Amino acid sequence: MRSDANSSQPAGHLIVECLVAQGVTHAFGVPGESYLAVLDGFHAYGDRIRFVVNRQEGGAAFMAEAHGKLTGRPGVCFVTRGPGATNASIGVHTAFQDSTPMVLFVGDVASDQRDREAFQEVEYTSFFGPSTKGMAKRVERIDDAGRIPEYIARAFATAMNGRPGPVVLVLPEDMLTHLTQARPLPRVEPVPAWTPPESLRTLRELLLQAKRPFVIAGGGGWTPQAAQALQRFAEDWQLPVGNAFRFQDTFDNHHPLYAGDVGIGPNPKLAARIKDSDLILAIGARLGEMTTGGYTLLQAPRSRQKLVHIHASAEELNRVYQADLAINATMNAAACSMEALVAPPQLPWTGWTEAAHADYLANLVPQALPGDIDMPAIVAVLAKHLPHDAVHTTGAGNFSSWMHRFFQHHGLAKGHKTQLAPTNGAMGYGVPAGIAANLVSGRTTLTMTGDGDFLMNGQELATAVQHGAKTIIVLLNNGMYGTIRMHQEREYPQHVSGTRLANPDFPALARAYGYAGVRVTRTAEFEPELVAALERKQGTLIEIMLDAEVISTRATLSSIRQKALQK
C-alpha cells in the first residue's frame, strides 16, 4: 500500500517509506514474526528498496556494517527479538569499534507483554549499552507510530555525525500494525565540524618545530575528496604517512610518501620509526590497541612524541591520549583545512620521509617459507588481475596478514573505498561483507578467508546465489585456528589444545550452494583459476591448501615453538 498526504498506512509500511526517504537501497536481515508488518512494507515498496534475506543474523549485521563502511551512509539491518538481536550484536560491535554508520531495527514483544520475561524478551538498552564502553551510540524504542519519522531521522543523524557508529531502534510488534498519517522527514546529511583557525596556526607551528614527523590516517568518515586533500597536504609538507589498522585504503599505498600499515605485526622498522618520531599527526584514527601496538608505539596517557589528534568526535579526543593539540573536525573539513597550510621552501625531514618509504618497499620482499604455496606470489597474482577499484574483504585470522603486508591499495584518493575488514577482530566478517559489497556496488569483490573464519558465516553463500551476488573467495586451509595456535606455541609450546580443525570439502560445499569450487595445491595453479573466476558469471571459491608451518608472513610454526622452548 502506497501512502498519499491524507491517507493512513500501517506503521510497518511507514518505516520502509522513511528508509526510502533516507536513500536506503538495500536492507539486510532475517525475517521474524515480530516485524511482519515491516516485511509487508518491503513488499509494498519493493521497487524502491531491496530486502536481502540472510541465513543468520550475524551475517546480516556484517552485511549492513559493510554497506555502511563502503558508502558512508548507515547500513540497515532488521532482526527479530531475543536470539535474533543477540546474534546481530557481533555486527553492532564491529560497527562501533570500526566507527561505521549503521542502524539495527529489532522487532520486539508487544507493549502489553513487556517486563514479564515474555517469549524472547530482552532489555535492549542494557544489552547494547549506549556508552563509550557499549556497542551502540543510541538505543531507542518506538512506542508511538506517529513519531517513527522523528526516530528514524535521529537514528541516521546519530549514526553519521561525530564518530560514526551504530544505532539500535526497537519496534514493539503491536505498534507496527497501528495506522498513522505521519510522513517521512527529509534525508539527513552529516554535519561538518570545521577546524578552528587558531588550531591550524598551532598545527603549523608544531610542524615547523618538528624534525621527524609522522602521519597516521584512518578511522571512519573518510571520502575520496578527503583522501585527495590529505594527499596534497602530505605532498606539500613531504610527510611520511602510515594507514591505521585495517584502514589501509586511506592513503595510496603506491605513493612515494607511503610508509606502511600501522597495525598487528607491523614492519619492525616502521614501529621503531613511530617510536622515534617527535611529532605524530593522527587524523581520524582513534588510536586503539591494534594501531598503537598495545599502547606501546604511543604510550598512554601521555605519549613521548608530541601528539596532534584530529577526530570527528569531541568525546574521543583526550579520552585515551592527552594530545598536545586536539582538533574536533570531520575528515573532509580537516583535510581541506590542512591543505591550505603552506609549507616552507625547505624541510629538514625529507631524508626521514624517503627512508620511511624505502623501509616500506623493503618490507614487500618476502622471507623464504616452506611448502608448495608461495603466498606473496599469490597476492602478486591478485594485484596483477584484479581491477583497481575491486573491493577486498577479510575476516579475522593470520590469513589476513598476507593481504595486509603484501597487497597495495590504490585507495580512496583514486575514488573508491577498497578495503572492508573488522578492526574488532570479528571472525566470519569477510564472506558476508564481500557479498554485500558486490550487491551494493556491483564492483569486483575478493574475499580472503581462512578455514575457521569461513565456517562462521559460509552459509551466506546461499544469500549470494539467491540475490545474484558474485564474489571470489580465496580460502586458506591449514586445518587449524591459526592465530590462536601461533599464540599457543609462543606461550605453551607443544601443548596443542582446542586449535585443530577437521574440515569439510570446501569446494564441494561451495558447489552445493551454487558457487564454483576449486582446490589449489601449488602456486602455479592459482593464476589460471583466478582468471577463470573473474570470467565466470557465478561466484567462485578457490581453496588453497596451505602448509601448517606457514603460520605468518615472518615465521614458521616450528621457529616460534623453538624460540619459546629456548626461553
Whether residue 417 sits in one domain with residue 270: no
Whether residue 559 sits in one domain with residue 412: yes
The answer to the question of residue 457 being in a domain is yes
Whether residue 392 sits in one domain with residue 341: no
In this predicted model, what pLDDT tens digit does every residue of 149-170 receive, in sequence order? 999 999 999 999 999 999 999 9
- The C-alpha atoms of residue 537 and residue 553 are separated, in whole angstroms, by 33
Single-letter amino acid code for the residue at 82: G
- The C-alpha atoms of residue 278 and residue 296 are separated, in whole angstroms, by 15
> Are 552 and 486 within 8 A, CB to CB?
yes
Residue 2 has pLDDT above 60, yes or no: no
In this predicted model, what pLDDT tens digit does every residue of 491-500 receive, in sequence order? 999 999 999 9
**pLDDT number for residue 232:** 97
Rounded mean pLDDT, 400-418: 95
> Are 264 and 401 within 8 A, CB to CB?
yes
Whether residue 209 sits in one domain with residue 151: no
Helix (H) / strand (E) element for 217: namely: strand 213-217
Q: Residue 387: which domain range?
A: 375-565
**pLDDT number for residue 115:** 82
Average pLDDT, the chain: 95
**pLDDT number for residue 134:** 76
The answer to the question of residue 165 being in a domain is yes
Rounded mean pLDDT, 433-447: 98
Residue 337 has pLDDT above 70, yes or no: yes
Task: Give the CATH number for residue 125.
Answer: 3.40.50.970
In this predicted model, what pLDDT tens digit does every residue of 339-382 receive, in sequence order? 999 999 999 999 999 999 999 999 999 989 999 999 999 999 99
The answer to the question of residue 267 being in a domain is yes
Residue 472 has pLDDT above 90, yes or no: yes
The CB density around residue 498, as the number of other CB atoms within 10 Å, is 9
- The C-alpha atoms of residue 409 and residue 383 are separated, in whole angstroms, by 9
> Are 186 and 156 within 8 A, CB to CB?
no
The answer to the question of residue 513 being in a domain is yes
Q: How far is CA 361 from CA 140, 267, 356, 408, in A?
A: 49, 10, 9, 11
The answer to the question of residue 405 being in a domain is yes
Residue 132 has pLDDT above 80, yes or no: no
Instruction: Give all strands (DSSP E) within 286-414, no chain letters.
Output: 306-311, 325-328, 391-394
Whether residue 84 sits in one domain with residue 114: yes
The answer to the question of residue 360 being in a domain is no
Rounded mean pLDDT, 77-82: 97
Whether residue 542 sits in one domain with residue 510: yes
Whether residue 472 sits in one domain with residue 442: yes
Whether residue 417 sits in one domain with residue 317: no
Rounded mean pLDDT, 510-528: 98
The angle subtended at Cα 122 by Cα 116 and Cα 127, nearest 5°, is 140
**pLDDT number for residue 117:** 81
**pLDDT number for residue 130:** 72
Whether residue 225 sits in one domain with residue 159: no
Q: How many domains does the chain have?
A: 3
Residue 567 has pLDDT above 90, yes or no: no
In this predicted model, what pLDDT tens digit does every residue of 214-247 receive, in sequence order? 999 999 999 999 999 999 999 999 999 999 999 9
Whether residue 148 sits in one domain with residue 42: yes
Phi, psi dihedrals of residue 132, rounded to the nearest 5°: -70, -15
Helix (H) / strand (E) element for 26: namely: strand 26-29
Whether residue 458 sits in one domain with residue 333: no
Between 133 and 386, the higher pLDDT residue: 386
The answer to the question of residue 151 being in a domain is yes
Residue 104 has pLDDT above 70, yes or no: yes
The answer to the question of residue 122 being in a domain is yes
Whether residue 387 sits in one domain with residue 340: no
- The C-alpha atoms of residue 19 and residue 156 are separated, in whole angstroms, by 10
Helix (H) / strand (E) element for 363: namely: helix 350-363
Helix (H) / strand (E) element for 158: namely: helix 148-160
Task: Give the CATH number for residue 239.
Answer: 3.40.50.1220
